[in-house]
Amino acid sequence: MRVVFALWMREVRKYFRSPAQMLGTLGSPVMYLGVLGFGLGPIFRRAGEGSYLQFMAPGIMCMTILFTSTFSGMALLWDRQFGFLKETLVAPVPRLTIMLGRTVGGATVALFQGLLVFLVSLIAGFRPAHVLDVPTAILVMACVALVFSAMGTIIGSSLKEMQGFQIIMNFLVMPIFFLSGALYPLRNLPVALTVLTRLDPLTYGVDALRGVLIGDAHFGVGLDILALAIAATVLLILGAYRFSKIEV
């Protein structure tokens, strides 16, 4: 546990030591909230769906967590080739411990980034249905962060070159985001799109966060949490397996 805590603290310290990077990653969420939130708001309202900003803000929080968690996999790949991880892997420490420390650290950083977007959303005009639901929303964001930080670990453990990460972004991460229902309701979709959205773990994170914050869950928060727990368990097991196969 001491090794897990040390690696977790290392990831968190790296995050707080680079405020420029911390604020720089807010560019895309602010653009989505500003351009889409206000630009498509009148259309969404005329369709009888209410405030688009209220609907979209939980999805943008999950988007930020998704991207930040996945980029922790790129940091793992970099560390593995040039940094601290090369020394850690040859230390007499179980690799499962190293993997857990880095994965939880990446999830914590992604959670902090999601909370920053939550604050930006409040400034933009987003309002939770009940203030007392915010702690539950933070727990949901932590679950989403853990799921995709584990996915980032799988990616970082599987790739051998940094160039492959752009392919992962284009063919895995972006589809995960756009299929999650972060930007559109999940009702009345074509059959093929309905199936794909239900296979996407981020769908359940967005739906759970939306259900907790504004009371508009498509599947039900209980089912969403169960799906996230299953996804986290499966991805952590796969991440541990892939991490154990890293060659020093």
3-class DSSP string for 99-128? HHHHHHHHHHHHHHHHHHHHHHHHHHCCCC
Q: Phi-psi region for residue 36, left (φ > 0), alpha (ψ -120 to 50) or beta?
A: alpha
Q: What pLDDT shows up at residue 227?
A: 96
Q: Are 214 and 55 in contact (CB under 8 A)?
A: yes
Q: Per-residue b/e over 85-94, b at no fewer than 16 CB within 10 Å?
A: beebbeeeee
Q: What pLDDT shows up at residue 85?
A: 67
Q: What pLDDT shows up at residue 128?
A: 92
Q: What is the tens place of the pLDDT at every residue in 184-195? A: 888 888 999 999
pTM: 0.90
Which residues of the chain register pLDDT less than 50? none
Q: What pLDDT shows up at residue 3?
A: 63
Neighbouring C-beta atoms of residue 205, cutoff 10 Å: 31
Q: What pLDDT shows up at residue 135?
A: 94
Distances in Å between the Cα of 117 and the Cα atoms of 141, 204, 222 are 12, 19, 24
Split into its structural domains, the chain has a count of 1
**Domain region containing 144:** 2-244
Q: What is the tens place of the pLDDT at every residue in 143-202? A: 999 999 999 888 888 877 777 777 877 788 899 999 999 998 888 889 999 999 999 999
Among residues 109, 155, 127, 86, which one has the least CA distance to residue 13? Answer: 109
Which DSSP letter does residue 36 get? Answer: I
Which residues, in sequence order, are CB contacts of 239 under 8 Å at separation 6+?
99, 103, 150, 151, 153, 154, 157
Distances in Å between the Cα of 71 and the Cα atoms of 25, 137, 162, 175, 243 are 11, 23, 11, 16, 16
Among residues 127, 125, 107, 118, which one has the least CA distance to residue 239? Answer: 107
Q: Are 72 and 109 in contact (CB under 8 A)?
A: yes
Neighbouring C-beta atoms of residue 237, cutoff 10 Å: 11
